[in-house]
Amino acid sequence: MTTRRAALGLLAGGVAHVTQTSPLWAEARHSYDLRPVPILSGVWMIKGATEYFSRDNGGAIVNCAILQGKSGLILIDSGSSRRYGEALNLALRKLDLRGVSTVINTHHHPDHYFGNQVFADKPILALGGTIAAARTEGDGFSDNMYRLLGDWMRGTEPVPPSIEIGTGDIVVDGRRLAALPLGGHTASDLALIDAETGLLITGDLVFLDRAPTTPHADLARWQEALTTLAAVQAPAVLPGHGPLDRAGIAIRKTSAYLTWLNDRLVAAAGMGLDMIEIMETPLPDEFASMGAQPQEFHRSVSHLYPEIERMILPRAN
Amino acid sequence: MFTRSSALAVAIGLMAGSVSGAPQVQLDDPFSSGMWDYHQEALLGDPAKIQFDDRVRVIAPDTAEDAFNVPLLVDATALSDVEEIVISVDYGPIPKILSFFPGEAEPKLALRFKIDQATAIRASVRTRTDGWHVGGTLIDAAGGGCSAPAQAYASDDWEEKLGEMHGRLWSSSGRARVIVDHPMDTGLADGIPVFIIRDLTFSTDDGHEVARIALSEPVNEDPAFTLYFDPETMPSLLHVRGRDNNGNEIEGILTDEEVN
Ligand SMILES: [Zn+2]
């Protein structure tokens, strides 16, 4: 009996984090091809694949912004792994020999901060809520990322941001920024406006040509944040995922998707559908063509439906 | 994976002296999980007539986004005279999820369950005259980087909400949906004893039982089910009654009302 109990205890421990070591046959080459693209004066971006995490893309699915600071470069979001951070560090030294002076994380999702490890000796800034969430959820994310990305993750340890960023008009390494503390994609999402160029850096509050992700989403709050961002009327918007938007469409498109998502789930609850039945219904063309669909829609059903359904269904006792 | 599977196999082997590992009908498992023979004996009682059958549809996402709430739809409406549907996983500390006795409902059920690891999931359908028919699918228990779901596990108001029920009927589409608030503790976590709903019955106003579900530990926290009926013959009202292993009674009424 004790044998069985002990064995079951071990198994039960796996409920939250089903871990699996990376296979020996993992990818032979793991090098990220990161190319900073100049987008405005003193501003570059690293463009992520508009896909889900995979062993083909190594998790390089996120956009990073790089701003020229006084003593080096300001890096906004640091990528998905230690190796990503190292590749970034090398690539950025070609822009400024002094390399990165400061890191800012827009929120606590792993594709936005798991490169921090490489810059651990520099100030790493984020909203207080992001720092706290990265501390509590980093290990869980790490388990998942090792499973999804295998050897790409070798040596990666989550390094949460260390310094709480000021909000409103701030100066970071000599560069004037407006820091907007928002939320909705997660409990704590930072958007930044670069005073010199007007560029709005949104983190994952905005997606373009790639389906928004919702594991920690509060849709109503997210819509409020998008209203705030639209009011900025920035000449260019850098979304967390997807191409630079100079046409002023990305905020509106993100909002349209979130509205549709909520409406679809509310309607499904009113018809008594369960999650599988919702997942099996096809997406409208304008949303089906987004990167990482229909996977993200399926994930969103899992994230959001149980709560929406409880609100819609009447009490039965 | 190997370590885990063999640990389980050893553990179960020690437990179950009556299971020989060689069922009287030896099937060719389409998923080659290595565990099916065992479950065929231990869960289904080593039936004399059993087959894998694609007419039993088991639909789930390829990967479990939220390991605590994996949605599943089992549909055996292509078979007739269904008496019982046993839903189980091949790999997990407690293989059996539930038994559904459809009675006057369709042999089709939507549910959610807790998954422990990548596994085959099976629906074994017992018919009155034609033995067992088994369908299944595979689920990978992988999350996603952006995916670790927030679990409201330690919510402090669960006792107030215990047994609270949401749901209704949709008689035009022949659906009955019910969600019951209950922690469904598996007893596998340290210091937390088993605390689960054992059964839920669905009956008409005059006490006639139309369907029943016997739940096991892997059913999700706040169990959620859809039952399906022929719209022509569906009752206009269903009583849902249940009991958990601590003796708490659960009771509610489903009607076509949108709000109540
Ligand atoms: Zn994110």
Q: Do B177 and A272 touch (CB under 8 A)?
A: yes
Arithmetic mean of pLDDT, A190-218: 97
Instruction: Provide the chain A residues 65-94 that lie in CB contact (below 8 A) with chain B.
Output: 80
Q: Output the pLDDT for position B14.
A: 43
Q: Output the pLDDT for position A56.
A: 85
Residue B219, domain member (yes or no): yes
Structural domain of B125: 35-143+151-254
For the cut 70, the answer to whether the pLDDT of residue A128 exceeds it is yes
Burial code (b: 16+ CB inside 10 Å, e: under 16) for B19-50 equals beeebeeeeebebebebbbbbbbbbbebeeeb
| d(CA A203, ligand 1 centre) in Å | 7
Arithmetic mean of pLDDT, A30-42: 92
State the CATH number of the domain containing residue B52.
2.60.40.2470
A272 interface with B at CB cutoff 8 Å: yes
Residue B193, domain member (yes or no): yes
For the cut 80, the answer to whether the pLDDT of residue A8 exceeds it is no
Q: Output the pLDDT for position A29.
A: 64
B160 token code pair: 């107030």
Structurally, how many domains does chain B consist of? Answer: 1
- B192 versus A282: the higher-pLDDT residue is A282
Task: Strands of chain A (E only): list them.
Answer: 37-40, 43-46, 64-68, 73-76, 100-104, 124-126, 163-164, 168-172, 175-182, 189-194, 200-201, 237-238
Q: What's the mean pLDDT when you consider all of chain A? A: 90
Q: Output the pLDDT for position B155.
A: 55
Q: Output the pLDDT for position B161.
A: 82
**What is the SS3 assignment for chain B?**
CHHHHHHHHHHHHHHCCCCCCCCCCCCCCCCCCCCHHHHHHHCCCCCCCEEECCCCEEECCCECCCCCCEEEEEECCCCCCEEEEEEEECCCCCCEEEEEECCCCCCEEEEEECCCCCEEEEEEEEECCCCEEEEEEEEECCCCCCCCCCCCCCCCCHHHHCCCEEEEEECCCCEEEEEECCCCECCCCCCCCCECEEEEEEECCCCCEEEEEEECCCECCCCEEEEECCCCCCCCEEEEEEEECCCCEEEEEEECCCCC
Q: Do B254 and A316 touch (CB under 8 A)?
A: yes
Provide, rounded to the nearest whole percent, the portion of chain A with pLDDT above 90: 81
Q: Which residues in chain B land under pLDDT 70?
A: 1-21, 142-157, 260
Kindly provide the ipTM of the predicted complex, given to two decimals. 0.86
Task: Provide, as residue numbers in chain B, all residues whose Cβ is less than 8 Å from the Cβ of A314.
Answer: 166-168, 257-260
Is A136 buried (19+), middle (13-18) or exposed (0-12) by CB count in 10 A? exposed
Residue B11, domain member (yes or no): no
- CATH 3.40.50.800 corresponds to the domain A37-252: no
Q: Output the pLDDT for position A24.
A: 38
Residue A150 — pLDDT band, cuts 50, 70, 90?
confident
Residue B47, domain member (yes or no): yes
Cα–Cα dist B240/B170, whole Å: 15
